[in-house]
Amino acid sequence: MRILIADDESMSRKLLQKTLERAGYEVTAVENGRLAAEQLCLADGPRLALLDWVMPEMDGPGVCREVRKRNVQSYVYMVLLTSKESKEDVVAGLESGADDYLTKPFDPEELKARLRTGLRILSLEDRLIEAREEMRFQATHDGLTSLWNRGVMMDLLGRELARSRRENVSTAILMCDLDHFKSVNDTYGHATGDEVLKETAKRLLASVRSYDFVGRYGGEEFLVVLNNCKPPFALARAEEIRRAISQKPMPSSSGPVPVTMSLGLLLSHEWGFRPLEELLHEADVALYAAKAAGRNCVKLASPNTSLVAPEPQEQAHIRMRR
């Protein structure tokens, strides 16, 4: 664990440094408060600090105030070292943002015990941050495939459409659906079905650029958003994605499973300022057209040669047979 020592008096610095190094700490020692504040406010700066009270340029309580004011990302546990021991001083030190204080000359065992308290607090913070990040991940990702979930995809797509309209470029929306997925589940079982979904997610991610978005839209339905996609290449890129799925059977614990995918493609610039939900509906209509055309193909949604949406009854029929 790294620790910062700030003391203008060289004997104290040496004494602290040796005591802490012996206890296994990695020590950074500075001789004034300004340098201490700079170090502690660095993104990867030490998270544990022993600060002398009286120092040139900035005193210990000043360092505590500065660090708390800048609200650095990780919590910094700060202990004031002082030869002052009046009640008012202790209160002032803690009010400045210090977590603890120790009176000089210090007892090495007490010093180490107090720092262990600091380590407990920091490890508690680490665990809380980890839990928060885990929850954030779960709230934004699909549990099975770890792709973005539907809610996040709507948000990302909405923002991307606004940006592409501002910059007068096109966003490609790909509504993708695995063909006859029900029969995969029926033939190989749901566990294999899940493996196929995971492999599909992997292949989709591998066939787009790092700044494109891939999400799970529903059961076996995926949404791919190609940002700033040049219209002449959009169809070719959709074809690449289709081939990435169908080219090789999906490996699974039940053996290789051949799978194909149908895709409905929509290029945002062709649709003016139509709302997001409408664009998704049009992409879905194009997907139905691809299913109706025999599956394992890409159909483009175009406002000029508008695809005829299947009748509601037929639509439901196709959906069932996907």
Partner 1 sequence: MPNAIINLTELLARVENDRELVRELLSIFKDEFPGHLQALREAVDSMDGDRVTAEAHTLKGMLSNLAATSAADAAARLEQLGRNREVSKFQEACSSFETVSKDLLQQLDVCMPEVRG
Binding site for partner 1 (CB under 8 A): 8-12, 14-15, 18-19, 22, 54, 83, 104-108
Residues contacting residue 44 through CB under 8 Å, at least 6 positions apart: none
| Least Cβ distance, residue 28 to partner 1 (angstroms) | 19
Q: What is the DSSP string of 83-142?
A: S---HHHHHHHHHTT-SEEEESSPPHHHHHHHHHHHHHHHHHHHHHHHHHHHHHHHHHB-
For partner 1, the closer CB: 11 or 320: 11
CA distances from 58 to 8, 196, 311 (A): 11, 61, 76
| Least Cβ distance, residue 9 to partner 1 (angstroms) | 5
220 included as an active-site residue: yes
| Least Cβ distance, residue 18 to partner 1 (angstroms) | 5
Measured from the Cβ of residue 169, the count of other Cβ atoms closer than 10 Å reads 15
**Which element (helix H / strand E) includes 19?**
helix 10-22
CA distances from 149 to 42, 215, 225, 288 (A): 34, 6, 13, 22
From 195, 199, 220, 282, active-site residue: 220
For partner 1, the closer CB: 111 or 229: 111
**Which element (helix H / strand E) includes 216?**
strand 213-216
User: At 111, phi and psi to the nearest 5?
Assistant: -55, -50
Q: Are 224 and 156 in contact (CB under 8 A)?
A: no
| Least Cβ distance, residue 52 to partner 1 (angstroms) | 8
Rounded Cα distance, 198 and 191, in Å? 11
For partner 1, the closer CB: 90 or 235: 90
| Least Cβ distance, residue 118 to partner 1 (angstroms) | 20
For partner 1, the closer CB: 83 or 138: 83
Going by the DSSP 8-state scheme, the letter that residue 73 receives in this structure is: S
Rounded Cα distance, 234 and 103, in Å? 70
For partner 1, the closer CB: 9 or 278: 9
| Residues annotated catalytic, as ranges | 220
